[in-house]
């Protein structure tokens, strides 16, 4: 039998990717793990990284892939809580590759009872939704509004908001299409429609991952002293908000990036978040649509598919590298 091979996918310079044979990582160091990577989703952040439009500067020599799932192949000396066969989520980028050597402290065990394909999508969006709700300041009885209603983040926001007794009003660029989620179309008098739906509940916060003129439309839904949290750039346009709205209602605009906020978390807040994610998963929340699972050897095709509007995430099978 030939020894296992390792391939990494790097970002090219013109919106394409470069598969690169890389050495197999050796056995784990003390406190470390050798991980056989299984699946990775193609997320909007990966598309931005490939296009050179990501908000942070990334190492061009490192594999891309914001999240993924792997199986422990070998545990290093001193790792007592994980063993071969356990599923883990690397906390750091670089997941579009077949093998990784990681510190135990830089992986999360997968909550029980979830399929690996669904678990591959648990590292980023649930934590983003949880922390956006924290930052929103909304509490029981409050109402928030979010755009990109059919996105994975929006799904997790609805799950965690229900656990916190917060009402969520959804907005989608195509209204309720393409899924069954009830959402207002992002046009016309959006603020009038949203405020009417909220009735007497104050709209304390708006979660915006579209930016461009959508930011202004979402901000107009807020009550006095409300907060607009901008965490994405799906429109590709700078956020545009009428200044009279900002001054007249005393609104606050804040930017959010998961990794910056996570870096400031305490062990207690991390544990609370992990417990909430595990509880949501146990309640069946990890059921996002998957459009296709394609071999790592066909990363180009997976990226092209992920760029076309469609229902569900495209995943890469990270062990499928034959023919490369």
Ligand X SMILES: NC(=O)c1ccc[n+]([C@@H]2O[C@H](COP(=O)([O-])OP(=O)(O)OC[C@H]3O[C@@H](n4cnc5c(N)ncnc54)[C@H](OP(=O)(O)O)[C@@H]3O)[C@@H](O)[C@H]2O)c1
Q: Which is nearer to ligand X, 177 or 282 (CB)?
A: 177
Name the 3-class secondary structure at 145: strand
Q: How far is the CB of 59 from ligand X (least distance, A)?
A: 18
Min dist CB 315 to ligand X, Å, is 12
Phi, psi of 104 (to 5 degrees): -55, -40
- What's the min distance (Å) between Cβ of 45 and ligand X? 5
Cα dihedral 6, 127, 304, 288 sign: positive
Tell me whether residue 58 or residue 234 sits nearer to ligand X (CB atom).
234
Query: Least Å distance between CB 234 and ligand X?
Result: 4
Rounded distance between C-alpha atoms, residue 1 and residue 138, angstroms? 57
Residue 44 or 63: which CB sits closer to ligand X? 44
To ligand X, the closest distance from the beta carbon of 282 in angstroms equals 21
Quote the strand ranges of the chain, DSSP E.
Answer: 7-11, 17-21, 32-41, 69-75, 87-90, 99-103, 107-109, 143-146, 167-172, 184-185, 203-208, 227-230, 252-255, 290-295, 313-317
Tokens representing 51? 């296009």
Q: Which is nearer to ligand X, 214 or 318 (CB)?
A: 214
Q: Taking the complex as a whole, how short is the minimal distance between the CB of residue 311 and ligand X, in angstroms?
A: 7
Dist CA 82 CA 110 (whole Å): 11
* Nearest CB to ligand X, comparing residues 206 and 297: 206
What does DSSP assign to residue 147? S
Instruction: Determine how β-strand 87-90 pairs with β-strand 17-21.
Output: unpaired
Which of these, 59, 48, 51, lies nearest to 257 by C-alpha position? 48
Minimum CB distance to ligand X, residue 231 (Å): 4
Greatest Cα pair distance in the chain: 71
Find the residue with minimal CB distance to ligand X: 232
In the complex with ligand X, the residue whose CB is nearer, 229 or 297, is 229
Contact 135, 256 (CB under 8 A): yes
Question: How far apart are CB 54 and ligand X at their closest, in Å?
Answer: 9
The residue among 279 and 288 lying less far from ligand X, judged by its C-beta, is 288
What's the Rg (C-alpha) of the chain? 20
- What minimum distance in Å lies between the beta carbon of 105 and ligand X? 21
Residue 176 burial by CB count (10 A; 0-12/13-18/19+): exposed, middle or buried? Answer: middle
Nearer to ligand X, 69 or 152 (CB): 152
Nearest CB to ligand X, comparing residues 204 and 217: 217
| Measured distance CA(211)–CA(218) in Å, rounded | 9
State the residues that interact with ligand X by CB under 6 A.
43-45, 124-125, 128, 148, 150-153, 172-174, 178, 209-210, 231-232, 234-235, 256-258, 309
Identify the DSSP state of 127: H
Tokens of 66: 């914001």
């Amino acid at each position: 039998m030939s020894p296992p091979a390792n391939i990494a996918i790097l970002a090219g310079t013109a919106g394409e990717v470069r598969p690169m044979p890389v050495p197999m990582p050796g056995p784990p160091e003390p406190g470390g793990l050798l991980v056989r990577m299984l699946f990775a989703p193609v997320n909007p952040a990966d598309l931005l990284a490939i296009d050179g439009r990501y908000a942070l500067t990334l190492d061009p020599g490192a594999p891309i892939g914001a999240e993924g799932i792997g199986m422990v192949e070998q545990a290093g000396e001193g790792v007592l809580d994980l063993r071969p066969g356990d599923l883990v989520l690397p906390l750091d980028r670089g997941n579009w590759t077949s093998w990784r050597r990681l510190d135990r402290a830089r992986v999360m065990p997968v909550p029980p009872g979830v399929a690996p394909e669904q678990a591959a999508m648990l590292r980023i969006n649930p934590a983003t939704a949880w922390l956006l709700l924290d930052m929103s300041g909304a509490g029981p009885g409050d109402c928030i509004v979010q755009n990109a209603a059919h996105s994975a983040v929006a799904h997790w926001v609805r799950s965690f908001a229900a656990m916190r007794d917060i009402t969520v009003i959804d907005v989608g660029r195509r209204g309720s299409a393409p899924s069954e989620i009830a959402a207002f179309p992002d046009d016309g008098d959006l603020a009038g429609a949203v405020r009417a739906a909220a009735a007497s509940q104050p709209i304390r916060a708006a979660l915006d991952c579209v930016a461009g003129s959508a930011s202004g439309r979402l901000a107009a839904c807020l009550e006095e002293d409300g907060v607009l949290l901008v965490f994405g750039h799906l429109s590709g346009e700078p956020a545009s908000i009428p200044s009279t709205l900002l001054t007249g209602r005393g609104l606050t605009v804040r930017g959010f990036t998961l990794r910056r906020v996570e870096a400031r978390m305490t062990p207690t807040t991390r544990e609370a978040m992990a417990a909430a994610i595990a509880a949501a998963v146990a309640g069946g929340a990890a059921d996002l649509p998957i459009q296709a699972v394609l071999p790592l050897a066909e990363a180009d095709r997976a990226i092209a598919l992920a760029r076309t509007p469609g229902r569900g995430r495209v995943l890469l099978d990270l062990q499928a590298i034959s023919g490369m």
